[in-house]
Chain A
Amino acid sequence: MKKHLIPLGFLVLLVILPPFLSGYWLRILTGVIMFATLTEAINIIAGYAGYPAFGNVVFFGMGAYVTAVLMNHGFGFFLTLIPSILSAVVFSVIIGLPVLRLRGHYFAIASLGVNVAVMEIVNNLKIAGAAEGLTLPLKKGASPHAVYSYFYYLFLVVLVLSVIFTIWLEKNRFGFGLRAIRVDEDGALAMGINTPLYKTLAWAYSAMFTAIVGSIYAYWISYIDPETVFEPIISVKMFVMMLLGGASTVYGPLIGAVLLELITELVWSKFVNIHGIVLGAIIILTVILIPRGFLDLFTGGFSWRRLVQNIKENMI
């Protein structure tokens, strides 16, 4: 229970904060919360189950498009969440059956391939506005600040739900099954774990939350096109956040999201053309300095010894 107290404090802070924030900071924090949820979701398949789902953004894009198309046909936002979730879950199961048989890099590449393929299809889909994209009905509210606060809270609710799920997972046999699969799939099989089923469930779960976030994103930004919502860099960011904060932990992804989003906003926005370089540098430094993530470095107090030890172990 104790380890959830500090996060709970942060949650209270996040709940009371919006009235005191400028539009700029409200937008930044909303982005952080959005990415925290995406990372918490990818953490289930890539962190706990150890399947590097490099194409996870495909579910984000699907959610965004299902909501955009349906809202343009007069559906209310919350009603669109059901088909958004369903399409992502069904799609993840259908492609998961063949793709989750692949391991390691092969799975990563295959899932990325699926992402690119879906992006191309949407690019040519009339009903989805093809390459021009889609505009969504604007959310009405008393003031712009009220509208933006609305989305902030919406994202926050989804984040809290996903964190609660992960906390449950840590102490549940489903979570134990996924962690066993990550380490050794033959070992997991011999221990009675139905690995194909567990992997599929893990990815479907991941897809579901990713799609919900995609739906909210579309409504929030109110304009989407294939290039933005199927952008592979979004998956890369989820990955970096997960590794940075600490994979297969409850709070690691949140810490990673805060760190990377803030770095993005405060540093990168000034050096737009070297995004790739900065991202690459962060990946390399993370893997060498804190292979188990930021959270690990500080559990039981920060120690330089551990940092130095990590460097020794991970330099060639």
Chain B
Amino acid sequence: MSSVILKGRGVTKKFGGLVAVNSVDFDIYEGEIFGIIGPNGAGKTTLMNLIVGLLPLTDGEIYFKSVKISGKKPYSIARLGIARTFQIVKPFKGMTVIENIMVGAFFGHGNYTSYREARERAEEIAKLVGLYEKREELVDHLNLAQLKRIELARALALEPEVLLLDEVMAGLNPAEMEKIMNLVREINAKGVTVIMIEHIMKAVMGLSRRMMVLHFGTKIAEGTPEEISQNEEVIKAYLGERYGKRRKSA
């Protein structure tokens, strides 16, 4: 098996009395697509914010290739090679598609300092995610599916080693979902480790070989999609009693 690229030990986040992430351990291996699932409010986005440094940890440690990153600034973590997309898309409004992607190229791991270099890199990525035709349009005029691609493209422009996707599938129709899944496969094939957060189990099942389940901030299961879908606790907690009963009667 390949080496661990991202490691968490006892990762905890409290908001006042609420424990949003409760002593979660994880090991993500280089080159894999790792899934994190859990119902709304399970703490998935919070965990991602902890990894990229947008929130300080209450307790625990996170390592990227044996370098401790918990406590580092988000921009340093991004430059080390960890990029993320936002569940609630955050396009840079007032800028064009290509300019949005260029931000990633300028400030990422690749460190393209000249306008020309950054632009060329951004154009390559625009082609990859299927936004090349729209490159001169203001992002203000794009629809949700296109904005999700902007999120992806900007993160890719950072040339990350680890890419964290926060519900890139949410709000998309099945056809668009299929396209994004292919895109994620393609990105992963280029050697990028992908962490996919979804609350729709199905979206992750087809992509990940390994996944973990969060419920009220706690990791309740970890394993292959088959193991997860058989796990009684997951079925009860995450999929709900009704689904469990239906499975038994089926």
Contact = CB atoms under 8 A, between A and B. Distances in A.
Interface stretch (B5-13, B90-98, B193-201, B214-222): B90-98
Interface string A184-204: 101111111111000000000
Contact of A191 (B53, B115, B154): B154
Contact of B54 (A171, A190, A248): A190
A177 B95 CA distance: 12
Given A190-B86, A191-B154, A173 B107 contact: yes
A190 B94 contact: no
Nearest to B94: A183
Contact of B115 (A172, A188, A190): A172
Interface string B62-78: 00000000000111001
Given A179-B94, A179-B95, A193-B107, A173 B113 contact: yes
B61 to A, nearest CB: 21
Nearest to B109: A192
Contacts of A187: 86, 90, 92
B158 interface: yes
A191 B102 contact: no
A50 to B, nearest CB: 10
B103 A191 contact: yes
B36 interface: no
Nearest to B116: A171
B52 interface: yes
Contacts of A172: 115
B236 to A, nearest CB: 35
B108 A192 contact: yes
B148 interface: no
A193 B92 contact: no
B149 interface: no
B84 interface: yes
Nearest to B160: A192
B92 A186 contact: no
Contacts of A192: 75, 78-79, 104, 107-109, 158
A223 interface: no
A122 interface: no
A190 B92 contact: no
A187 to B, nearest CB: 4
A212 interface: no
Contact of B118 (A173, A189, A190): A173
A171 B116 CA distance: 9
Contacts of A193: 75, 103, 107
B106 interface: yes
Candidate in A176, A182, A191 with the most chain B CB atoms within 10 angstroms: A191
A77 B102 CA distance: 43
A180 B92 contact: yes
B99 interface: yes
Contacts of B84: 190
A189 B75 contact: yes
Contacts of A194: 73, 75
B149 to A, nearest CB: 16
A171 B99 CA distance: 10
Contacts of A177: 103, 106-107
A176 B102 contact: yes
Contacts of A189: 53-54, 73-75, 78
A59 B94 CA distance: 29
A195 B107 contact: no
A49 to B, nearest CB: 13
Contacts of A173: 106-107, 113, 115, 118
A249 to B, nearest CB: 11
Interface in B108-125: 108-109, 113, 115, 118
Contact of A176 (B73, B79, B99, B109): B99
B78 A183 contact: no
A172 B119 CA distance: 11
Interface of A: 171-173, 176-177, 179-180, 182-184, 186-195, 248
Give me the 6 closest cross-chain CB pairs, A-B, nearest first: A192-B107, A192-B78, A187-B90, A173-B106, A189-B74, A183-B92
Interface of B: 52-54, 73-75, 78-79, 83-84, 86, 90-95, 99, 102-104, 106-109, 113, 115, 118, 154, 158
8 contacts: A173-B106, A176-B106, A177-B106, A184-B90, A190-B52, A190-B83, A192-B108, A195-B75
